[in-house]
A = this chain, B = another copy of it.
Protein backbone atom coordinates (compact mmCIF):
# COMPACT_ATOMS: atom_id res chain seq x y z
CA UNK A 1 0.00 0.00 0.00
CA UNK A 2 1.16 3.50 -0.79
CA UNK A 3 -0.11 6.81 0.51
CA UNK A 4 -1.78 9.62 -1.39
CA UNK A 5 -0.91 13.25 -0.65
CA UNK A 6 -4.01 13.57 1.56
CA UNK A 7 -3.18 10.37 3.42
CA UNK A 8 0.33 11.67 4.05
CA UNK A 9 -1.01 14.95 5.40
CA UNK A 10 -3.39 13.06 7.65
CA UNK A 11 -0.42 11.18 9.13
CA UNK A 12 0.62 14.48 10.65
CA UNK A 13 -2.76 15.34 12.14
CA UNK A 14 -2.64 15.56 15.92
CA UNK A 15 -5.92 14.38 17.44
CA UNK A 16 -7.26 16.63 20.14
CA UNK A 17 -6.96 15.17 23.63
CA UNK A 18 -9.25 15.41 26.66
CA UNK A 19 -7.57 17.40 29.46
CA UNK A 20 -7.57 14.35 31.70
CA UNK A 21 -5.34 12.47 29.26
CA UNK A 22 -2.62 15.09 29.03
CA UNK A 23 -0.57 13.75 31.89
CA UNK A 24 -1.23 10.05 32.31
CA UNK A 25 0.83 9.82 35.50
CA UNK A 26 -1.43 12.37 37.19
CA UNK A 27 -4.71 10.51 36.71
CA UNK A 28 -6.14 7.24 37.86
CA UNK A 29 -9.33 5.26 37.68
CA UNK A 30 -11.56 5.52 40.68
CA UNK A 31 -14.38 3.13 41.50
CA UNK A 32 -17.82 4.67 41.26
CA UNK A 33 -19.94 2.74 43.76
CA UNK A 34 -23.39 1.91 42.50
CA UNK A 35 -26.16 -0.48 43.39
CA UNK A 36 -26.18 -3.39 40.96
CA UNK A 37 -29.14 -5.54 40.24
CA UNK A 38 -27.97 -8.29 37.91
CA UNK A 39 -29.98 -11.42 37.29
CA UNK A 40 -28.92 -14.61 39.05
CA UNK A 41 -28.15 -16.11 35.63
CA UNK A 42 -25.62 -13.34 34.93
CA UNK A 43 -24.19 -13.72 38.42
CA UNK A 44 -23.73 -17.44 37.83
CA UNK A 45 -22.04 -16.87 34.48
CA UNK A 46 -19.74 -14.13 35.80
CA UNK A 47 -18.94 -15.12 39.42
CA UNK A 48 -15.65 -13.21 39.49
CA UNK A 49 -16.65 -10.04 37.65
CA UNK A 50 -20.38 -9.46 38.11
CA UNK A 51 -20.00 -7.25 41.17
CA UNK A 52 -17.55 -4.85 39.59
CA UNK A 53 -18.58 -1.18 39.61
CA UNK A 54 -17.84 1.41 36.93
CA UNK A 55 -14.61 3.38 37.22
CA UNK A 56 -14.11 6.98 36.20
CA UNK A 57 -10.85 8.69 35.35
CA UNK A 58 -10.00 11.41 37.84
CA UNK A 59 -7.06 13.54 38.85
CA UNK A 60 -4.93 11.72 41.39
CA UNK A 61 -1.54 10.13 41.39
CA UNK A 62 -1.44 6.81 39.62
CA UNK A 63 1.31 5.34 41.75
CA UNK A 64 4.38 3.63 40.38
CA UNK A 65 3.85 2.25 36.91
CA UNK A 66 5.61 -0.69 35.35
CA UNK A 67 6.12 -1.93 31.82
CA UNK A 68 3.00 -3.57 30.41
CA UNK A 69 2.59 -6.29 27.83
CA UNK A 70 -0.65 -5.74 25.99
CA UNK A 71 -2.32 -7.55 23.12
CA UNK A 72 -4.80 -5.97 20.74
CA UNK A 73 -7.21 -7.42 18.20
CA UNK A 74 -9.80 -6.11 15.74
CA UNK A 75 -13.02 -8.07 15.60
CA UNK A 76 -15.62 -7.81 12.85
CA UNK A 77 -16.27 -5.20 10.18
CA UNK A 78 -14.09 -2.22 9.56
CA UNK A 79 -14.82 1.16 11.13
CA UNK A 80 -12.85 4.34 10.55
CA UNK A 81 -10.52 5.20 13.41
CA UNK A 82 -9.41 1.72 14.46
CA UNK A 83 -5.80 2.50 13.74
CA UNK A 84 -5.99 5.46 16.11
CA UNK A 85 -7.11 3.20 18.94
CA UNK A 86 -3.86 1.32 18.37
CA UNK A 87 -1.93 4.60 18.12
CA UNK A 88 -3.39 5.81 21.42
CA UNK A 89 -2.72 2.47 23.11
CA UNK A 90 0.86 2.49 21.92
CA UNK A 91 1.56 6.09 22.95
CA UNK A 92 0.07 5.56 26.40
CA UNK A 93 2.01 2.33 26.94
CA UNK A 94 5.26 4.07 26.00
CA UNK A 95 4.48 6.93 28.37
CA UNK A 96 3.67 4.49 31.17
CA UNK A 97 6.97 2.72 30.55
CA UNK A 98 9.02 2.69 27.34
CA UNK A 99 9.76 -0.98 27.93
CA UNK A 100 6.07 -1.81 27.45
CA UNK A 101 5.10 -3.98 24.52
CA UNK A 102 2.07 -3.83 22.23
CA UNK A 103 1.29 -7.06 20.41
CA UNK A 104 -1.17 -7.22 17.55
CA UNK A 105 -3.15 -10.43 17.04
CA UNK A 106 -3.59 -10.87 13.31
CA UNK A 107 -6.75 -11.08 11.23
CA UNK A 108 -9.22 -11.02 14.09
CA UNK A 109 -9.93 -13.28 17.06
CA UNK A 110 -8.66 -16.27 15.05
CA UNK A 111 -5.23 -14.70 15.57
CA UNK A 112 -5.67 -15.23 19.33
CA UNK A 113 -6.84 -18.82 18.87
CA UNK A 114 -4.08 -19.65 16.40
CA UNK A 115 -1.46 -17.50 18.13
CA UNK A 116 -0.80 -15.39 15.05
CA UNK A 117 0.66 -12.21 16.41
CA UNK A 118 3.32 -9.58 15.96
CA UNK A 119 4.88 -6.96 18.20
CA UNK A 120 3.98 -3.54 16.86
CA UNK A 121 6.68 -0.91 16.56
CA UNK A 122 6.29 2.82 16.78
CA UNK A 123 7.70 3.24 13.27
CA UNK A 124 5.11 0.88 11.87
CA UNK A 125 2.23 2.50 13.74
CA UNK A 126 3.35 5.93 12.55
CA UNK A 127 2.38 4.88 9.03
CA UNK A 128 -1.23 4.24 10.09
CA UNK A 129 -2.15 7.26 12.18
CA UNK A 130 -5.46 8.82 11.19
CA UNK A 131 -5.82 6.32 8.34
CA UNK A 132 -8.86 4.20 7.55
CA UNK A 133 -9.16 0.42 7.54
CA UNK A 134 -7.91 -2.21 9.95
CA UNK A 135 -5.06 -3.38 7.75
CA UNK A 136 -2.20 -2.84 10.22
CA UNK A 137 -3.18 -6.13 11.86
CA UNK A 138 -6.29 -7.14 9.89
CA UNK A 139 -9.65 -8.19 11.28
CA UNK A 140 -11.95 -11.19 11.15
CA UNK A 141 -15.28 -12.57 12.30
CA UNK A 142 -14.17 -15.75 14.06
CA UNK A 143 -15.54 -15.89 17.59
CA UNK A 144 -13.89 -17.20 20.73
CA UNK A 145 -16.74 -19.55 21.49
CA UNK A 146 -15.80 -23.15 22.08
CA UNK A 147 -14.00 -24.37 25.23
CA UNK A 148 -10.87 -25.06 23.18
CA UNK A 149 -10.93 -21.45 21.90
CA UNK A 150 -10.87 -20.19 25.47
CA UNK A 151 -8.05 -22.59 26.32
CA UNK A 152 -6.08 -21.38 23.32
CA UNK A 153 -6.66 -17.74 24.35
CA UNK A 154 -5.38 -18.54 27.82
CA UNK A 155 -2.35 -20.25 26.37
CA UNK A 156 -1.58 -17.49 23.86
CA UNK A 157 -2.49 -14.36 25.80
CA UNK A 158 -2.84 -15.52 29.40
CA UNK A 159 0.51 -14.10 30.49
CA UNK A 160 -0.14 -10.60 29.23
CA UNK A 161 -1.03 -7.61 31.33
CA UNK A 162 -3.91 -6.80 29.09
CA UNK A 163 -5.84 -7.80 26.01
CA UNK A 164 -7.78 -5.17 24.11
CA UNK A 165 -10.71 -6.31 21.99
CA UNK A 166 -11.87 -3.71 19.52
CA UNK A 167 -15.29 -4.80 18.37
CA UNK A 168 -19.06 -4.62 18.36
CA UNK A 169 -21.70 -6.06 20.67
CA UNK A 170 -20.79 -9.72 20.25
CA UNK A 171 -17.06 -9.09 20.52
CA UNK A 172 -17.56 -7.16 23.73
CA UNK A 173 -19.72 -9.96 25.16
CA UNK A 174 -16.76 -12.16 24.30
CA UNK A 175 -14.42 -9.78 26.08
CA UNK A 176 -16.51 -10.13 29.25
CA UNK A 177 -16.51 -13.92 29.01
CA UNK A 178 -12.77 -13.96 28.40
CA UNK A 179 -12.12 -11.63 31.34
CA UNK A 180 -14.04 -14.00 33.58
CA UNK A 181 -12.27 -17.03 32.14
CA UNK A 182 -8.82 -15.50 32.63
CA UNK A 183 -9.57 -14.62 36.28
CA UNK A 184 -10.97 -18.05 36.90
CA UNK A 185 -7.78 -19.63 35.58
CA UNK A 186 -5.46 -17.40 37.56
CA UNK A 187 -4.29 -15.40 34.57
CA UNK A 188 -3.18 -11.82 35.14
CA UNK A 189 -4.43 -10.71 31.68
CA UNK A 190 -6.96 -7.91 31.97
CA UNK A 191 -9.49 -7.77 29.13
CA UNK A 192 -10.83 -4.41 27.98
CA UNK A 193 -13.29 -3.81 25.15
CA UNK A 194 -13.47 -0.82 22.82
CA UNK A 195 -16.85 0.04 21.26
CA UNK A 196 -16.54 -0.23 17.48
CA UNK A 197 -19.20 -0.45 14.80
CA UNK A 198 -20.43 1.79 12.05
CA UNK A 199 -23.93 0.43 12.69
CA UNK A 200 -24.27 2.55 15.82
CA UNK A 201 -26.16 -0.23 17.61
CA UNK A 202 -23.62 -0.55 20.43
CA UNK A 203 -25.04 2.23 22.56
CA UNK A 204 -26.23 2.46 26.12
CA UNK A 205 -26.71 5.09 28.75
CA UNK A 206 -22.94 4.97 29.16
CA UNK A 207 -21.83 4.41 25.57
CA UNK A 208 -22.93 7.44 23.61
CA UNK A 209 -21.74 6.13 20.27
CA UNK A 210 -19.41 3.55 18.78
CA UNK A 211 -16.47 4.71 16.72
CA UNK A 212 -16.70 4.66 12.92
CA UNK A 213 -20.36 5.66 12.88
CA UNK A 214 -19.54 9.32 12.29
CA UNK A 215 -17.16 8.76 9.36
CA UNK A 216 -19.40 6.18 7.71
CA UNK A 217 -22.49 8.40 7.98
CA UNK A 218 -20.56 11.37 6.64
CA UNK A 219 -19.36 9.35 3.64
CA UNK A 220 -22.84 7.97 2.94
CA UNK A 221 -24.34 11.44 3.36
CA UNK A 222 -21.86 12.86 0.87
CA UNK A 223 -23.09 10.30 -1.67
CA UNK A 224 -26.77 10.67 -0.80
CA UNK A 225 -26.43 14.43 -1.16
CA UNK A 226 -24.83 13.96 -4.58
CA UNK A 227 -27.60 11.60 -5.65
CA UNK A 228 -30.25 14.04 -4.41
CA UNK A 229 -28.74 16.80 -6.50
CA UNK A 230 -28.69 14.45 -9.45
CA UNK A 231 -32.32 13.50 -8.92
CA UNK A 232 -33.29 17.15 -8.79
CA UNK A 233 -31.40 17.88 -12.02
CA UNK A 234 -32.44 14.88 -14.11
CA UNK A 235 -35.99 14.72 -12.67
CA UNK A 236 -36.65 11.19 -13.81
CA UNK A 237 -35.64 8.60 -11.23
CA UNK A 238 -36.56 7.50 -7.77
CA UNK A 239 -33.26 6.63 -6.16
CA UNK A 240 -33.80 3.88 -3.60
CA UNK A 241 -30.70 3.82 -1.43
CA UNK A 242 -30.12 0.90 0.90
CA UNK A 243 -27.74 1.66 3.74
CA UNK A 244 -25.48 -0.84 5.46
CA UNK A 245 -26.02 -1.50 9.15
CA UNK A 246 -27.50 -4.80 10.31
CA UNK A 247 -30.78 -4.51 12.20
CA UNK A 248 -30.95 -1.03 13.68
CA UNK A 249 -31.73 2.04 11.58
CA UNK A 250 -29.26 4.43 13.24
CA UNK A 251 -27.31 5.05 10.02
CA UNK A 252 -30.50 5.77 8.06
CA UNK A 253 -31.68 8.20 10.74
CA UNK A 254 -28.36 10.04 10.90
CA UNK A 255 -28.06 10.25 7.10
CA UNK A 256 -31.67 11.42 6.85
CA UNK A 257 -30.96 14.30 9.21
CA UNK A 258 -27.85 15.18 7.23
CA UNK A 259 -29.43 15.02 3.76
CA UNK A 260 -33.22 15.31 4.09
CA UNK A 261 -34.40 12.80 1.48
CA UNK A 262 -38.08 12.61 0.57
CA UNK A 263 -38.65 9.44 2.57
CA UNK A 264 -36.61 7.52 5.11
CA UNK A 265 -37.86 4.19 6.34
CA UNK A 266 -37.02 3.48 9.97
CA UNK A 267 -37.32 -0.22 10.80
CA UNK A 268 -38.06 0.43 14.46
CA UNK A 269 -41.39 1.97 13.57
CA UNK A 270 -42.50 -1.62 12.95
CA UNK A 271 -44.60 -0.95 9.87
CA UNK A 272 -45.81 -3.86 7.79
CA UNK A 273 -44.59 -4.42 4.24
CA UNK A 274 -48.03 -3.43 2.99
CA UNK A 275 -47.98 -0.17 4.96
CA UNK A 276 -44.57 0.74 3.63
CA UNK A 277 -45.52 -0.05 0.03
CA UNK A 278 -48.62 2.13 0.48
CA UNK A 279 -46.53 4.89 1.97
CA UNK A 280 -44.08 4.92 -0.94
CA UNK A 281 -46.85 4.67 -3.55
CA UNK A 282 -48.69 7.52 -1.85
CA UNK A 283 -45.55 9.64 -1.82
CA UNK A 284 -44.98 8.99 -5.52
CA UNK A 285 -48.56 10.00 -6.30
CA UNK A 286 -48.44 13.18 -4.25
CA UNK A 287 -45.13 14.16 -5.81
CA UNK A 288 -46.51 13.47 -9.27
CA UNK A 289 -49.43 15.74 -8.46
CA UNK A 290 -46.82 18.40 -7.68
CA UNK A 291 -45.16 17.76 -11.05
CA UNK A 292 -42.30 15.72 -9.63
CA UNK A 293 -41.48 12.27 -10.98
CA UNK A 294 -38.28 11.78 -9.07
CA UNK A 295 -37.20 11.39 -5.49
CA UNK A 296 -34.83 9.89 -2.98
CA UNK A 297 -35.73 7.15 -0.51
CA UNK A 298 -33.47 5.74 2.22
CA UNK A 299 -33.87 2.10 3.20
CA UNK A 300 -32.00 0.64 6.18
CA UNK A 301 -30.51 -2.78 5.50
CA UNK A 302 -32.33 -4.33 8.46
CA UNK A 303 -35.77 -2.97 7.56
CA UNK A 304 -37.26 -6.33 6.67
CA UNK A 305 -36.50 -7.76 10.11
CA UNK A 306 -38.91 -5.31 11.70
CA UNK A 307 -41.90 -6.04 9.46
CA UNK A 308 -44.34 -8.07 11.55
CA UNK A 309 -45.60 -10.30 8.72
CA UNK A 310 -42.09 -10.99 7.42
CA UNK A 311 -40.82 -11.73 10.93
CA UNK A 312 -43.62 -14.27 11.29
CA UNK A 313 -42.90 -15.81 7.88
CA UNK A 314 -39.20 -16.16 8.68
CA UNK A 315 -39.95 -17.81 12.01
CA UNK A 316 -42.25 -20.30 10.34
CA UNK A 317 -39.80 -21.01 7.54
CA UNK A 318 -36.96 -21.55 10.00
CA UNK A 319 -39.08 -23.92 12.06
CA UNK A 320 -39.98 -25.95 8.98
CA UNK A 321 -43.32 -27.62 8.30
CA UNK A 322 -46.49 -26.10 6.86
CA UNK A 323 -46.83 -22.31 6.62
CA UNK A 324 -49.85 -20.63 8.18
CA UNK A 325 -52.29 -19.26 5.63
CA UNK A 326 -51.22 -15.64 6.38
CA UNK A 327 -47.56 -16.49 5.90
CA UNK A 328 -48.28 -18.51 2.78
CA UNK A 329 -50.00 -15.47 1.31
CA UNK A 330 -47.08 -13.20 2.25
CA UNK A 331 -44.67 -15.67 0.70
CA UNK A 332 -46.67 -16.02 -2.51
CA UNK A 333 -46.59 -12.26 -2.90
CA UNK A 334 -42.78 -11.96 -2.81
CA UNK A 335 -40.68 -11.65 -5.97
CA UNK A 336 -39.52 -15.01 -7.29
CA UNK A 337 -35.87 -14.24 -6.62
CA UNK A 338 -36.59 -13.56 -2.96
CA UNK A 339 -38.72 -16.68 -2.64
CA UNK A 340 -35.78 -18.72 -3.88
CA UNK A 341 -33.41 -17.03 -1.45
CA UNK A 342 -35.73 -17.77 1.44
CA UNK A 343 -36.11 -21.40 0.49
CA UNK A 344 -32.61 -22.32 -0.51
CA UNK A 345 -30.06 -20.22 1.27
CA UNK A 346 -29.94 -21.17 4.93
CA UNK A 347 -27.17 -20.65 7.44
CA UNK A 348 -25.38 -23.70 8.93
CA UNK A 349 -28.10 -23.90 11.61
CA UNK A 350 -30.86 -24.08 9.00
CA UNK A 351 -32.03 -20.53 9.71
CA UNK A 352 -33.25 -18.20 7.02
CA UNK A 353 -30.55 -15.65 6.23
CA UNK A 354 -32.42 -12.43 6.64
CA UNK A 355 -29.43 -10.40 5.54
CA UNK A 356 -29.68 -11.89 2.04
CA UNK A 357 -33.19 -10.60 1.46
CA UNK A 358 -33.09 -7.73 -0.97
CA UNK A 359 -35.60 -5.51 0.77
CA UNK A 360 -35.26 -2.66 -1.70
CA UNK A 361 -35.97 -5.03 -4.59
CA UNK A 362 -39.16 -6.27 -2.94
CA UNK A 363 -40.32 -2.74 -2.23
CA UNK A 364 -39.55 -1.51 -5.73
CA UNK A 365 -41.38 -4.40 -7.37
CA UNK A 366 -44.41 -4.02 -5.14
CA UNK A 367 -44.62 -0.26 -5.59
CA UNK A 368 -44.21 -0.67 -9.34
CA UNK A 369 -47.06 -3.16 -9.41
CA UNK A 370 -49.25 -0.91 -7.30
CA UNK A 371 -48.57 2.08 -9.53
CA UNK A 372 -48.95 0.05 -12.72
CA UNK A 373 -45.33 0.47 -13.68
CA UNK A 374 -45.15 4.21 -13.02
CA UNK A 375 -42.21 4.06 -10.69
CA UNK A 376 -38.84 4.57 -12.32
CA UNK A 377 -36.49 3.34 -9.64
CA UNK A 378 -32.70 3.08 -9.43
CA UNK A 379 -31.23 0.84 -6.71
CA UNK A 380 -28.14 1.77 -4.70
CA UNK A 381 -26.35 0.09 -1.84
CA UNK A 382 -23.96 2.10 0.27
CA UNK A 383 -21.80 -0.04 2.52
CA UNK A 384 -18.17 -0.88 1.94
CA UNK A 385 -17.54 2.66 0.69
CA UNK A 386 -17.89 4.05 4.20
CA UNK A 387 -16.33 1.49 6.52
CA UNK A 388 -12.68 2.09 5.73
CA UNK A 389 -12.61 5.74 4.78
CA UNK A 390 -10.19 8.21 6.31
CA UNK A 391 -11.61 8.85 9.79
CA UNK A 392 -13.24 12.22 10.37
CA UNK A 393 -11.56 14.45 12.94
CA UNK A 394 -14.23 13.35 15.38
CA UNK A 395 -13.47 9.65 14.93
CA UNK A 396 -9.72 10.31 14.82
CA UNK A 397 -9.78 12.11 18.18
CA UNK A 398 -12.39 9.82 19.71
CA UNK A 399 -10.39 6.72 18.82
CA UNK A 400 -7.07 8.15 19.93
CA UNK A 401 -8.60 9.03 23.31
CA UNK A 402 -10.17 5.55 23.52
CA UNK A 403 -6.72 4.05 22.94
CA UNK A 404 -5.03 6.20 25.57
CA UNK A 405 -7.78 5.52 28.08
CA UNK A 406 -7.83 1.77 27.44
CA UNK A 407 -4.14 1.60 28.32
CA UNK A 408 -4.96 3.28 31.65
CA UNK A 409 -7.70 0.74 32.35
CA UNK A 410 -5.10 -2.00 31.98
CA UNK A 411 -2.49 -0.09 33.97
CA UNK A 412 -5.01 0.32 36.78
CA UNK A 413 -5.94 -3.35 36.72
CA UNK A 414 -9.49 -3.27 35.39
CA UNK A 415 -10.92 -6.21 33.52
CA UNK A 416 -14.21 -7.07 31.84
CA UNK A 417 -14.85 -3.42 31.16
CA UNK A 418 -15.51 -1.42 28.03
CA UNK A 419 -13.86 1.95 27.45
CA UNK A 420 -16.42 4.67 27.28
CA UNK A 421 -16.13 8.36 26.59
CA UNK A 422 -18.97 10.67 27.51
CA UNK A 423 -20.03 14.25 26.79
CA UNK A 424 -18.86 13.62 23.23
CA UNK A 425 -20.90 16.44 21.78
CA UNK A 426 -19.11 18.94 23.98
CA UNK A 427 -15.54 20.24 23.82
CA UNK A 428 -13.00 17.42 23.57
CA UNK A 429 -11.04 18.92 26.47
CA UNK A 430 -14.00 18.18 28.74
CA UNK A 431 -14.74 14.62 27.64
CA UNK A 432 -15.42 12.20 30.52
CA UNK A 433 -13.69 8.85 30.59
CA UNK A 434 -15.35 5.88 32.17
CA UNK A 435 -14.74 2.14 32.32
CA UNK A 436 -18.11 0.40 32.20
CA UNK A 437 -18.45 -3.23 33.39
CA UNK A 438 -19.55 -5.17 30.33
CA UNK A 439 -21.71 -7.48 32.47
CA UNK A 440 -23.94 -4.49 33.14
CA UNK A 441 -24.83 -4.45 29.44
CA UNK A 442 -25.43 -8.18 29.11
CA UNK A 443 -28.73 -10.02 29.26
CA UNK A 444 -29.94 -13.38 28.01
CA UNK A 445 -31.52 -13.73 24.61
CA UNK A 446 -32.69 -16.65 22.54
CA UNK A 447 -30.40 -16.80 19.52
CA UNK A 448 -30.70 -19.59 17.01
CA UNK A 449 -32.79 -21.55 19.48
CA UNK A 450 -30.34 -21.30 22.38
CA UNK A 451 -30.30 -18.98 25.34
CA UNK A 452 -27.17 -16.87 25.10
CA UNK A 453 -25.62 -14.00 27.03
CA UNK A 454 -25.53 -11.00 24.69
CA UNK A 455 -25.26 -7.25 24.75
CA UNK A 456 -28.64 -6.02 23.66
CA UNK A 457 -28.46 -4.26 20.32
CA UNK A 458 -29.46 -0.67 20.75
CA UNK A 459 -32.28 0.17 18.37
CA UNK A 460 -33.48 3.58 17.29
CA UNK A 461 -35.63 4.81 20.16
CA UNK A 462 -38.81 6.03 18.51
CA UNK A 463 -39.54 8.03 21.63
CA UNK A 464 -36.03 9.44 21.74
CA UNK A 465 -35.00 13.00 20.93
CA UNK A 466 -33.30 12.25 17.62
CA UNK A 467 -36.23 10.33 16.19
CA UNK A 468 -38.79 12.84 17.42
CA UNK A 469 -36.79 15.67 15.86
CA UNK A 470 -36.71 13.72 12.61
CA UNK A 471 -40.41 12.84 12.74
CA UNK A 472 -41.36 16.48 13.26
CA UNK A 473 -39.42 17.48 10.15
CA UNK A 474 -39.94 14.63 7.74
CA UNK A 475 -43.42 15.59 6.52
CA UNK A 476 -41.99 18.81 5.17
CA UNK A 477 -39.35 16.92 3.17
CA UNK A 478 -41.78 14.69 1.29
CA UNK A 479 -43.08 16.85 -1.53
CA UNK A 480 -41.03 19.97 -1.17
CA UNK A 481 -37.42 19.10 -1.89
CA UNK A 482 -35.41 20.15 1.11
CA UNK A 483 -32.36 18.20 0.04
CA UNK A 484 -29.00 19.11 1.56
CA UNK A 485 -25.59 18.00 0.29
CA UNK A 486 -23.07 17.91 3.12
CA UNK A 487 -20.33 17.25 0.54
CA UNK A 488 -17.13 15.30 1.10
CA UNK A 489 -15.48 15.20 4.55
CA UNK A 490 -13.19 18.21 4.90
CA UNK A 491 -10.00 17.95 6.92
CA UNK A 492 -8.76 21.52 6.58
CA UNK A 493 -10.45 24.86 7.04
CA UNK A 494 -13.10 26.01 9.45
CA UNK A 495 -13.94 23.91 12.51
CA UNK A 496 -17.65 24.04 11.64
CA UNK A 497 -16.80 21.70 8.79
CA UNK A 498 -13.84 19.73 10.06
CA UNK A 499 -14.94 19.07 13.63
CA UNK A 500 -18.66 18.40 13.36
CA UNK A 501 -20.22 15.53 15.30
CA UNK A 502 -23.16 13.29 14.33
CA UNK A 503 -26.51 15.09 14.42
CA UNK A 504 -28.09 12.18 16.32
CA UNK A 505 -25.52 12.78 19.05
CA UNK A 506 -26.53 16.40 19.35
Which A residues contact B (CB, under 8 angstroms)? 1-7, 9-10, 74, 77-78, 107, 131-135, 138-140, 219, 222-223, 225-227, 229-230, 232-235, 239, 260, 378, 380, 384-390, 481-494, 496-497, 500
- 25 pairs, A vs B, C-beta closer than 8 Å: A1-B483, A1-B484, A4-B485, A5-B494, A6-B488, A9-B493, A9-B494, A131-B229, A132-B485, A133-B232, A135-B229, A140-B234, A219-B226, A219-B488, A222-B389, A223-B223, A226-B384, A226-B387, A226-B388, A226-B389, A233-B388, A390-B485, A492-B492, A492-B497, A493-B493
Query: Which residues of chain B have C-beta atoms less than 8 A from A2's C-beta?
Result: 260, 482-484
**Interchain CB contact (< 8 A) of A133 among B1, B3, B229, B491:** B229
Complex Cα distance, B223 from A132, in Å, reads: 12
**Interchain CB contact (< 8 A) of A390 among B7, B484, B488, B496:** B488
User: Taking A4-B485, A390-B487, A390-B488 as contacts, is the C-beta distance between A233 and B138 under 8 angstroms?
Assistant: yes
Query: Which residues of chain B have C-beta atoms less than 8 A from A492's C-beta?
Result: 490, 492-494, 497
Query: Which residues of chain B have C-beta atoms less than 8 A from A9's C-beta?
Result: 493-494, 497
Is B6 a contact of A139 with CB atoms below 8 Å?
A: no
Query: Which residues of chain B have C-beta atoms less than 8 A from A491's C-beta?
Result: 490, 493
**Interchain CB contact (< 8 A) of A384 among B74, B380, B481:** B380
Query: Which residues of chain B have C-beta atoms less than 8 A from A496's C-beta?
Result: 5
Is B230 a contact of A6 with CB atoms below 8 Å?
A: no
Give the Cβ gap from A238 to chain B, nearest Cβ, in Å: 12
**Interchain CB contact (< 8 A) of A487 among B4, B235, B239:** B4
Complex Cα distance, B385 from A486, in Å, reads: 13
Is A384 a contact of B138 with CB atoms below 8 Å?
A: no
Complex Cα distance, B444 from A331, in Å, reads: 55
Is B484 a contact of A4 with CB atoms below 8 Å?
A: yes
Is A488 a contact of B488 with CB atoms below 8 Å?
A: yes
Complex Cα distance, B1 from A83, in Å, reads: 37
Query: Which residues of chain B have C-beta atoms less than 8 A from A223's C-beta?
Result: 223, 385
Query: Which residues of chain B have C-beta atoms less than 8 A from A219's C-beta?
Result: 226, 488
Measured CB to CB, the nearest residue on chain B to A232 is B135
Query: Which residues of chain B have C-beta atoms less than 8 A from A483's C-beta?
Result: 1-2
Query: Which residues of chain B have C-beta atoms less than 8 A from A497's C-beta?
Result: 5-6, 9, 492
Complex Cα distance, B306 from A394, in Å, reads: 46
**Interchain CB contact (< 8 A) of A139 among B225, B233, B484:** B233
Query: Which residues of chain B have C-beta atoms less than 8 A from A487's C-beta?
Result: 4, 6-7, 10, 389-390
Give the Cβ gap from A67 to chain B, nearest Cβ, in Å: 30
Is A385 a contact of B227 with CB atoms below 8 Å?
A: yes
**Interchain CB contact (< 8 A) of A385 among B5, B10, B226, B493:** B226
Of the listed residues A6, A9, A239, A490, the one surrounded by the most CB atoms of chain B closer than 10 A to its CB is A6
Query: Which residues of chain B have C-beta atoms less than 8 A from A484's C-beta?
Result: 1-4, 7
- Going nearest first, the 8 A-B pairs with the smallest beta carbon separation are A492-B493, A488-B488, A133-B229, A230-B388, A229-B388, A134-B233, A6-B487, A133-B233
Is A230 a contact of B384 with CB atoms below 8 Å?
A: yes
Complex Cα distance, B378 from A384, in Å, reads: 10
